[in-house]
Amino acid sequence: MKILVVEDERELSEVLVTLLKQNKYDADAVYDGLSGEDYALCGVYDLILLDIMLPGKNGVEVLRSLRRQGLSTPVLLLTAKSEVDDKILGLDAGADDYLAKPFASGELLARIRAMTRRKGEYVGDTLAFMETTLDKNTHELSCGGNKVNLPLKEYQILEMLMQNSHQIIPKERFIEKIWGYDSDSEYNAIEVYISFLRKKLFAIGSGMQIKAVRGVGYALEEPQ
């Protein structure tokens, strides 16, 4: 399961990411509201830990924007504020739960487990497109009884495509979300991984197609 941590306190953010990874979660961190919204909208995350007090755009504003744009990913608000009005404001904005700082790591993990259980419609173990499925835990791609395990980068690319089927994903977004903003990776790296994925889809007999939109990016579509 992939979790986005949006927290401007760098030390706390590092602690949270380490804790999540120790408990077998895949975690990314950003440190301001605008970046948090941008990352969340890429659609690759199963859950978002969102601080209320953020630079650029506060957590409640980010949350409202995400919900207006149709993002249903579960959100756990993190806040140093304990007043009832702040909790109500966050829940009314679309949060699924809240946790006031300071909090115990065990409570955070318990709330994450509870949220993923009750939000099963958002957080599943597999993605499906046509007759092809992608297991989010094992990274196994399967179709009609044929299976293949994907390396991490190939899995991350296909996960983004399957979570945003029929939508064109720019090459820049792949670079930013998978390699990071500061990466030196070139766009032809995406083309190489897309080529690998197409060969594997063909090998397992999948009919879904990764369509290249010249000069823009890629989209997942049914065969014409």
Question: Which residues neighbour 140 within 8 Å (Cβ) at sequence distance 6 or greater?
Answer: 134, 147, 148, 149, 150
Instruction: Give the C-alpha separation, 133 to 221, whole Å.
Output: 14
- Quote the domain boundaries for residue 39: 2-118
Q: Are residues 19 and 67 in the same domain?
A: yes
Domain boundary, last residue among 96, 118, 140: 118
Judgement on whether residues 113 and 133 belong to the same structural domain of the protein: no
Q: Token digits for 92? A: 């009314």
Same-domain status, 62 and 138: no
CB 127 within 8 A of CB 163: yes
* pLDDT, greater one: 46 or 196: 196
At position 197, the amino acid (one-letter code) is: L
- Of the chain, the percentage scoring pLDDT greater than 70 comes to 89
Q: Domain tally for the chain?
A: 2
pLDDT at residue 37 in the model: 94
Whole-prediction pTM: 0.57
Give the CATH number for residue 29: 3.40.50.2300
Is the omega angle on the peptide bond into residue 151 within 30 degrees of 0, that is, cis?
no
pLDDT, tens digit, for every residue of 40-75?
A: 988 778 899 999 989 999 999 999 999 888 788 889
Q: How many CB atoms lie within 10 A of CB 16?
A: 21
